[in-house]
Structure 1
């Protein structure tokens, strides 16, 4: 079916019962693994705080010393093994910003030697330039995109001009090759679901999906968002997928599939087109985004308000509304509250 597999891995820390850490707990300073972690004293204690470095001060997650040659050899063997033996297509690297750059450079070299097309994705929540210079990751989880989209469409924290500025900042923060593969998301296992963030307003969720599926990068749909699954912070955001069609929003599912089909059919809506914001009105909370390439010209319209609006494109011409498959004599559109559309210029 053309499905690719990406493993989610933690190279930052081990578990409490990992063989190396268990050996240290048993043998203390005599353990041959004592240099594998950042230990400050013996014996090891967990209360009131651990006397060794951990992830998020959680005693059960001791942090690896990735400067240690034995640790590096051990972890890089893992990195190579799953690509070489099982042919996985990518690595998603948990808390990647807490591992040193030298290790990630070696990691990339090892993985790309086996398969140059392996997708290396880092989980980093802040500015990621240091990891995206071509010697470490191919992409990162694009939380600046996530925050900009949620703040405007779901949370009503920002206005149209701020959204346009924030998205422009996302684009100009990276080189074009990075923008084309950046992992764009509106929700994940670490955050409340997009529908919940949008106050269970499915029209707002549709706007979020429209913004993500017409933007440059690799759009990522968290399972269940396409059928209206809600959920607050963990564990709510990790609830099981309802497979009974009667428990799914089939209209939302069809809408999401339609957007995906359009993205595949019209490459300008994906990574072939240049993005610019040609309209951003704070009073009406409306946006017009233009996507342009030698293959075509498109306008994406957003009405993030509770009132119907009419939007005027910055040029004359005829168009095809791709969501309704209707021809238009002009490029102007009328949108109900909390809705959007895509018009191809003919």
Structure 2
């Protein structure tokens, strides 16, 4: 059952957290995540609860719209678990699933009820059972900064005005409230001034306790962690430290990962999150692998800037800075991604240039932290910015099977080598668009070489970089797009790399 603490006990836990070593869930370091937008993934054959059996839905194959529902549900996720397991996926991250009046469900009505369109609580429990039987983890999206106009406590304020007992749960500024008429002042605070998303007053002890108990409840029900939506907007002192303590008291191996687009250092000292959605890795990786092929018209907002194009040396500098920012235990549990439900898909950003996408994937799957695949990317699903990046998962007849095989091989590589899960990351050479690094864990070492340029390049690894007397380099254990040849000569190891190619070599 969930643990509840008085303020004295919480302060003791927070103090203990600050003085202990940084610890993060071991399973995350070895995981390959798959992000699912439930409304667009699959419609299961088993019916949802009766009230939602005959909803009016958009045609499945029609382009997605901002407000339309497609009808994907958790039963559909369950029916695809064998496919995901066969692909090598070991963990699922689901965007919000709780009752809501929008297809993405970031407008929460009820934090204790899975949306009926998704199958209700019954479907979630079935998903947890079936996933755990396959030793797959399930992480849910926690929207704890704001609720919705339909959230019971806020709806009571709309109905009863200043007589509502829940006034202090939100930031009410004046009367009357205008929840829907944009020509009038809202008179309450919404997230980024959106009336649909009334922001919680996290300094109110009842609000704080309510949200803590939601976090505890679903961990106790068997979920394996929380992805936290816009957690940097929660300003209440000690909120996320307390959240960590209470969640970890129930399951010490629960994963807590935040959506932070900027420098996440304030949240990654070991007392709040185990990692973040690592857009600080995404940006330079896309800028190096895609470069000037990037279609900027598909980008939205200033928080995500995967440009200008980077040389190998500039990419190495950005990666070195990133790896120095956080404790190594945190680095190993960052959630690494190349796109998400909030960005255009990488294939579209690259203007369909599959070789450059392949190089970005190689860099992600060989980087410290857990790689995350956005549903459909593995079968070649394109998509411009929201809502187009939230297309339905395609029928198998529309899959890019070469793309799927490439993903499967990369995922298998990740699982095969412990050095990719736990090993050090060392940049050993940069030249023009050529980038070479190694991952080492104990006696196991992989060297990865990437040429994101349009020309053949040669890179010399001199004896002061690699001890030629103690190594033997076998055939590549993985290659992308073209051939990389290694020859020994008096100067060292000569790498000859085809244009837009990459390879991983086992160093014995």
Q: TM-score range by the shorter chain?
A: over 0.9
> Does residue 337 in structure 1 map to residue 499 in structure 2?
yes
Contact 2:379 2:401 in 1 (8 A): yes
Q: CA RMSD in A?
A: 1.9
| Comparing 94-103 and 326-335, the one that deviates more | 326-335
Query: Displacement of 1:45 after TM fit?
Result: 2.4
Deviation per residue, 1:275-307 (Å, 9 max, x gap): 12122123xx11111222322222111010112
Distance (whole Å) between structure 1 residues aligned to residue 501 and residue 341 of structure 2: 27
Q: Deviations over 1:2-35 (max 9, x none)?
A: 1111001100001111111111111111110000
- Alpha-carbon offset, residue 97 of structure 1: 0.4
Length-normalised TM-score, structure 2: 0.64
> How far apart are 1:41 and its partner, in Å?
0.7
Checking the alignment, whether the CA contact within 8 Å between 1:6 and 1:88 is kept in structure 2 is yes
Partner Cα separation in structure 2 for residue 327 and residue 147 of structure 1: 29
Instruction: Say whether residues 1:5 and 2:153 are aligned partners.
Output: no
CA contact (8 A) 2:171 2:188 kept: yes
Q: Would the aligned equivalents of 2:289 and 2:356 in 1 still touch at CA under 8 Å?
A: yes
Q: 1:215 pairs with 350, 363, 367, which one?
A: 367
1:153 paired residue number: 289
Conservation of the 8 A alpha-carbon contact between 1:150 and 1:197: no
| Deviations 1:234-255, CA, capped at 9 Å, x for gaps | 01111111131x3122222212
**What residue ranges of structure 2 are gaps of 5+ in the alignment?**
1-133, 293-308
Distance in 2 of aligned mates of 1:297 and 1:80: 40
1:329 to partner: Cα distance: 6.2
* Alignment correspondent of 2:439: 291
Distance 2:222 2:316 in 1: 40
Corresponding position of 1:319: 473
Note the 1:7-26 alignment, pairs <5 A: 7-26=140-159
CA shift at 1:326, angstroms?
11
CA distance in 1, matches of 2:435, 2:265: 28
Question: 1:215 and 1:326 mapped to 2: Cα distance?
Answer: 20
Listed as ranges, the gaps of 5+ residues in structure 1 are none
Aligned to 1:190: 342
- Pick closer, same or farther for the CA change 1:289–1:328 going to 2, 3 Å: closer
Contact 1:318-1:328 within 8 A present in 2 as well = no
Q: Which segment is superposed worse, 91-100 or 294-303? A: 294-303
2:148, 2:198 within 8 Å by CA — same for their partners in 1? yes
Query: Which stretch shows the higher mean deviation, 123-132 or 249-258?
Result: 249-258
- Greater alpha carbon shift after TM alignment, 330-339 vs 261-270: 330-339
My pick for the range that moved more, 175-184 or 218-227, is: 218-227
The correspondence of residues 231-310 of structure 1 with structure 2, limited to 5 A, is 231-244=383-396, 246-271=397-422, 273-282=423-432, 285-310=433-458
In structure 1, C-alpha distance between the alignment counterparts of 2:454 and 2:414, rounded to whole Å: 27
Aligned to 1:186, what secondary structure does the other structure show?
A: coil
Alpha-carbon distance in structure 1 between the residues aligned to 2:314 and 2:484: 32
Report SS of the residue matched to 2:154: helix
Residues 124-148 of structure 1 show CA distances to partners (whole Å, capped at 9, x for unaligned) of: 1111111112221111111100111
Deviation per residue, 1:191-250 (Å, 9 max, x gap) = 011111112101011101100000101111111222221111001111111131x31222
Alignment TM-score, normalising by the size of structure 1: 0.93
Structure with the larger RCO, 1 or 2 (CA within 8 Å, 6+ apart): 2
In the TM superposition, residue 167 of structure 1 has moved relative to its aligned partner by: 0.8
